[in-house]
Amino acid sequence: MAYVRGRVRASVAALEHLVGGLGTATLALGALLWAAIVAVACLVGVGLLAAPGALRAVRWVSDRERARLSRWGEPIPTPGPVPTGLRTATRDPFVRRELGWVALYSLVGLVTGLVGIALPLYAVQDGTFPLWYRLVPPDAAPGIVWWRIDGLSDALWVGVLGVGCLAAAIWFSPVLARLQAWPGRWLLPPPPGVDLSLRVAELTATRAAALDAHAVELRRIERSLHDGTQNRLVAVNVLLGAARRAVRRNPDRADEILGQAQDAAEQALGELRTVVRGILPPVLDDRGLAGALAGLAGSCAVPCRLEVDVAVRCAASVEATAYFVVAEALTNVVRHSGASRVDVVVRREHGRLLVSVEDNGHGDADETRGSGLTGIRRRVEAYDGRMTLTSPPGGPTRMDVELPCGS
């Protein structure tokens, strides 16, 4: 039974992939037709001005497919803008591979997507046909069945065909999804040799981001200790000195001063605990990531719906990063969004921890306006992760974070 549930879950996920792939395949077909028209026009010299735009359209569709495949597996880096100049662009290895991908994917993506969507539709249509076969003429059986339906027995045979379509959808949808993704996995990654240089540049940038994030964290800790705990301890020292001087002259006054010193010491201890929790929250060790996030959601001033699907513990640093990402995101929602609801979804998939925070506020979030989003991005990139922010004016605002957490 567990095996069957796993197959059904995999087929549902594959269907989602196929639907998304069908969308990019449709865009790829449009880009291919436009590129072909421009290429034919270039033969007579009237399409040269439109050629760069056609290549940019191909790049745009290719980047959408890269983003789609990156959400479901190994990330595929984007190559950036198309080189200026038609001759330079046509010599670019990325452009050549993208043109080949558009031509191949226009066929493979459309066929696999249509077949993958048709199987469950036929399964529902034919599987339920015995319930409504009297509503259609006898010679109008649904789907690919063209025989005459003269009674319930014939309708039941159509239902059996629907069960077969359901079984085919469960068993073959993952295969179709992998086949649909194959052109992109083959042609859209950087060519051999280019991948290494891009990876070196990416690691250099993430290393710099890690150092910046570390420096920012040290400054935050230093500021917290200097402005809070240190001042409390100075106050304790002053009060103890005053109490020592007052012991002989006014014992009652000394007792009052010692009480104030004790209160200041307790406040200093509380601020020290806050600083320690900011370094690595103990709640992660005590309750795990799901329990820690449940505490954040429960204390959020905006109603928060939390969904956590992480069966296996990740590295402590990754869980701490996810915790701080959610904490900072919820703080931003409360302070800036004007939202009445926020959804937090955390799941582990393909060796990556995926964190999604979405609110129904007024949107228009901007990293440059000091809302803490820059700090989130730096912290995520320091762990070789990715952050995507979508916040159109009027909302909603959605932040997606991917963190590598091993296989």
Confidence of residue 22 (pLDDT cuts 50, 70, 90): very high
DSSP element (H, E) containing 141: none
d(C-alpha 228, C-alpha 233), whole Å: 9
Q: What is the pLDDT of residues 200-253, one digit of tens each?
A: 666 666 666 655 655 666 666 667 666 666 777 777 677 677 777 777 777 777
Q: What is the pLDDT of residues 384-394, one digit of tens each?
A: 788 888 888 88
Burial level of 11, CB count in 10 A (0-12/13-18/19+)?
A: buried
Which of helix, strand or coil describes residue 352?
strand
The first and second tokens of residue 128, run together, are 């339920």
d(C-alpha 83, C-alpha 96), whole Å: 12
Q: What is the pLDDT of residues 257-299, one digit of tens each?
A: 777 777 777 776 766 666 655 555 666 767 788 888 888 888 8
Residues 6+ apart with CB under 8 A from 179: 108, 112
Q: What is the pLDDT of residues 322-334, one digit of tens each?
A: 888 888 888 888 8
The length of the chain is: 407
User: In the predicted model, what is the mean pLDDT of the chain?
Assistant: 80
Of residues 59 and 310, more confidently modeled: 59
Q: How confident is the model at residue 199, as a pLDDT?
A: 60
Which of helix, strand or coil describes residue 387?
strand
Confidence of residue 24 (pLDDT cuts 50, 70, 90): very high
> What pTM was estimated for this model as a whole?
0.52
Q: How confident is the model at residue 407, as a pLDDT?
A: 47
d(C-alpha 21, C-alpha 180), whole Å: 7
Helix axes 93-127, 152-187, angle to 10 degrees: 170
CB 187, CB 104: distance < 8 Å: yes
Q: Is the peptide bond before 396 cis (omega within 30 degrees of 0)?
A: yes
